[in-house]
Amino acid sequence: MNSKEKHIIFVTLYYPPFNTIASHRTRRIVKGLRNNGYKVSVITAKRTYNNELDVNPDDTYYLKLLNVDSLLKSQHIRKNKLLFTFVKLLNRFFFFHRNYLPEFSLAIWRRQAIRVAQKIHKKTPVSLIYTSSGPPASAIVGYHFKKKTNVKWIAEFRDLWSFNHYYPLNKLLFKYNLRKEKHYLSGADEIITVTKYLRDQLRTLHNKPTHIIYNAFDIDMSSTNKSSSKFIITYAGNIIQGKRDPSPLFEGINELEKIKSPVLHNFEIRFFTNQTEYLDKLINKYEISKYVKNSGYIPHKEIQKELSICNLFLLLSYNHPIDKGVLTGKIFEYLSYRKPILAISYPGEIKEVLNKTGSGIVLNDSNDIAKFLIKVIGLSKKDSLLGFNMNYQRINSFSADNQNRKLHDLINGY
């Protein structure tokens, strides 16, 4: 069927102006579909905080979402210890329901979304519903809409549902979630995910056509790159103790400091993260405060300026086999700048992408990191790529245009 004849409903809890990696992905997909001639109606959640991204509100339905997270940010509530404790307990309750009890999770939002989808379909018939999860509430909307209309349904999972190791389940909850996942996904026509490992897992579990659409990057940002008198390593994102943890890097810098290495004379690591408490502990532990600067959270447009002036990107992921199939959206944002990447992570699909594109290296040992820094800082004055042989054609394969083309070909096959 021709794209001009297709009307698509796109359902997601994460969409601009709300600023998350997931929102960047969903905006990219919707923009690509519209550019390819599809009419796309978006059903999403209305957020009351972190609304920083530009958005085209046309044909977008923002449904109210009870979000206790936003209450925790209120200064009025934070000043009242009793009220703050109550809201924290309430937040844990909703977190539990959202991640472990999908049947009850976001029930009000789901019912609204199903009603809105049916109204849209009645007004202008829909030929496809595309749901982007997690949490799985979007997929449950897709299941019910497909059941009522028999419209084709593509279910996207950016993370696994029952087997999501970031939210481990006890035996009882695992059985419950697995049964629900199999039930709801039985109605999907195709499944989309973001890595090879997740594709293989989902294909085996559901026995359905399963495809990869990588997170990708919007545009080539290399034209914004600027030089700096310092050698700067930049990290923008979350820090999680033991999982997204810069300790090996800090230990390596501490080793260089002990031997008074000259490479540290004009050197700085810049962090842009909200997780300041743990970061400060690490900085004090390794006694490297003169080399590390944390600016906290800053808007995405400001982050882009910071990314343009650094020499080396830092990518943090969990150095454990269970993370072998993880490819965070951050790696693709980094690729758009055509600058080298130092990844502290499990050498799974992250290493595959870095090797394929010639864009970086995975290191987890502090001694190896120290040797690497000596080498690349020495090269930095004469080689902005720090000795890496980047393959720009392969980097471009992860552009939004190329990934959207894959999705267009898939949808056009219906």
So where are the chain's domains? Answer: 3-216+399-412, 222-396
CATH class, 3-216+399-412 region = alpha beta
What pLDDT was estimated at residue 118? 97
Asked whether 67 and 47 are in contact (CB, 8 A), the reply is yes
Which has more pLDDT, 360 or 48?
360
Using CA atoms, how far apart are residues 275 and 143, in angstroms rounded to an integer? 37
pLDDT at 51 over 90: no
> How does the average pLDDT of the chain come out, rounded?
89
pLDDT at 70 over 90: no
Q: Which is nearest to 272 in space by CA: 244, 245, 291, 300?
A: 300
- Which residue is listed with tokens 């499990």? 346
Share of the chain above pLDDT 70, in %: 89
What pLDDT was estimated at residue 95? 57
Task: For residue 389, count CB atoms less than 10 angstroms from its CB and return exposed for 0-12, middle for 13-18, buried for 19 or more.
Answer: exposed
Asked whether 199 and 193 are in contact (CB, 8 A), the reply is yes
Alpha helices, H only, 74-156: 75-79, 81-100, 107-123, 137-149
Task: For residue 53, count CB atoms less than 10 angstroms from its CB and return exposed for 0-12, middle for 13-18, buried for 19 or more.
Answer: middle
Asked whether 267 and 231 are in contact (CB, 8 A), the reply is yes
pLDDT digits (tens, 9 = 90+) for 293-352: 988 888 888 888 999 999 999 999 999 999 999 998 899 999 999 999 999 999 999 999
Q: Which is nearest to 290 in space by CA: 256, 324, 315, 313?
A: 256
Q: Which of the residue ranges 39-53, 100-114, 364-378 has the most confident prediction, judged by mean pLDDT?
A: 364-378
pLDDT at 73 over 70: no
Rounded to 5 degrees, φ, ψ at 21 are -60, -40
- The CATH fold assigned to 222-396 is Rossmann fold (3.40.50)
- Pairing between β-strand 231-236 and β-strand 210-212 as defined by DSSP bridges: unpaired
What pLDDT was estimated at residue 202? 97
In the Cβ-directed half-sphere of 14, how many Cα atoms lie within 13 Å? 18
What pLDDT was estimated at residue 69? 55
What pLDDT was estimated at residue 337? 95
pLDDT at 219 over 90: no
